[in-house]
Amino acid sequence: MADKGFTNLYFETLPVKKLLLKFSVPTIISMLVSALYNIVDQVFIGQGVGYIGNAATTVVYPFTVIALAISLLICDGSASLFSISLGKKDYETAKKSIANNLLLSVFFIIFITFIGFLFKNDILKLFGVTDSCFKYASDYMGIILIGIPFYMFTSSFNGIIRADGSPKYSMIATVTGALINLILDPVAIFVFDLGVKGAAIATVIGQLVSFIISFYYLKKIKSVKFEIKDIKNNFKVIKKIMLLGISSFIIQIAIVIVIAVSNNLIVKYGPYSVYGPDIPLSAIGIVMKVFAIVISFSVGIAVGGQPIVGYNFGLGNYKRVFETYKLIIISNIIIGIISMIIFEFFPQSIISLFGSESDLYNNYAVKCFRIFLLGIVLCCIQKASSVFLQSIGKPLSSTILSLARDVIFFVPGLIILASFSGVEGLLWAAPITDTLSFFLTVILISYEFKKLRNKKENISITKKLS
């Protein structure tokens, strides 16, 4: 038996509130810090370069999201399999989930980095770069690509670290890198006058530090006895990881699709408005990244609950599974309401963090916050529910929910509304999409809960008969 002393009672008997708090807080901080990598760059670039520099980072952002999408495919898939396997006392599969996490990470890191360097200019054009910000975007992406391997490994392996019962270690790895980035950003931009290049260099150094800390955890894994010789390819395990992680992948890729479509719609319809293309490109980029902060809280709570849900689901303790989901949703509703109040009543306070711009710019940016993020409460519920479905081994339901919200509803909404009302009309696609996806969430969650309740009743009857 490969168990190294992991206590099953840890997830089986401790109060769910205490467990969720223990795992969610470090996870939220880790995800929040990851989102802040881009926010910090935009704040300092906005102050030092202006909105043209921010427009450049908006264009590069989708590529980093693609790298994150692949990393979360590996991260969440292997973490879910790891947790469910521990709940079933299947320690060999738990070890294989770690091994194939590493193998998949190395393969995709090489692939994405190669594609980035080879097709850099084509990628920038795909995501709507304008002539005025092309040089900034090219300089920024050229340096960011150097840090992509470090960023991807940290993002891929952190799920295993959390599922192994060490959410604080995962948090330390991410936060340390972010703090270094925060310190170096103003130095590189203002002291050495490196502009967007300096922001990119600071980001890469921070990512390198996070990678070193995360990689060291391979020596500290406690749930199973894991050694280098265990790193072997296993197609069956890889298939399970990919299936369990596909929803996380789709969520992130959908963000890329939405950004690519909206950026290109802005470039198309912007010249016909008083704002032009660069103002909407910059403003929506800021809104998207502020939105990512809220989702860091939302998804962070759900991901923090993943080991609790996965372990107890594998164990057959569905009462604790239901209880965990209830707490996750209540927390998300609170987060969504607080966020909506801030975005509706204090948007200018947020906008001013990214630099002092013209009244025309501020006018559009305020509309972005108030309209685009109007349905943030419903979005939080949907995002958290998608992670929950993934945690109980329901990748199909999770994938349907993610696809519907971010592609099937959102993209057509952007295209249709932009064709009628230009760069102002496309903002309404978000709240309409959030409303439609909320109703779908209720349907899918109700269906899966009904199946779990029936399974729970069958288990109780079997125990009584035996």
pLDDT in tens, 67-95: 999 999 999 899 989 988 888 888 889 99
Per DSSP, 188 falls in state I
Residue 331 has a CB neighbour count (10 Å cut-off) of 23
pLDDT band at 208 (very low <50, low <70, confident <90, very high): very high
Residue with tokens 């239901």: 322
Closest CA to 310 of 94, 100, 72: 94
> What is the band of 6 on the pLDDT scale with cuts at 50, 70, 90?
very low
Mean pLDDT of 32-41: 69
Q: Identify the DSSP state of 217.
A: G
Kindly state the average pLDDT of the residues 196-206: 92
Rg (CA), the chain: 22
CA 343 from chain center: how many Å? 21
**Residue 153 predicted with pLDDT over 60:** yes
Length of the chain: 466
User: Rounded to whole angstroms, how far apart are CA atoms 141 and 138?
Assistant: 5
* Least confident window among 156-165, 182-191, 235-244, 252-261: 252-261
3-class DSSP string for 411-466:
HHHHHHHHHHHHHHHHHHHHHHHHHHHHHHHHHHHHHHHHHHHHHHHHHHHHHHHC
- Please give the structure tokens belonging to residue 344: 């509706």
Residue 2 scores a pLDDT above 70: no
- What mean pLDDT do residues 267-294 have? 86
Under DSSP, the state recorded for 231 is -
pTM exceeds 0.85 for this model = no
Share of residues in the chain with pLDDT > 70 (%): 93
Give the torsion through C-alpha atoms of 176, 182, 185, 186, to 10 deg: -140
Place of tokens 């969430």: 441
pLDDT (average), residues 385-412:
86
- Across the chain, mean pLDDT equals 86
Closest CA to 24 of 382, 322, 308, 244: 308
In this predicted structure, the answer to whether residue 466 has a pLDDT above a threshold of 70 is no
**pLDDT for residue 142 is more than 80:** yes
Q: With a cut of 90, say whether residue 375 has pLDDT above it.
A: yes
- Asked if pLDDT for residue 139 goes beyond 90, the answer is yes
Residues 301 and 16: beta-carbon distance below 8 Å: no
pLDDT digits (tens, 9 = 90+) for 401-439: 888 887 889 999 999 999 999 998 899 999 999 999 999
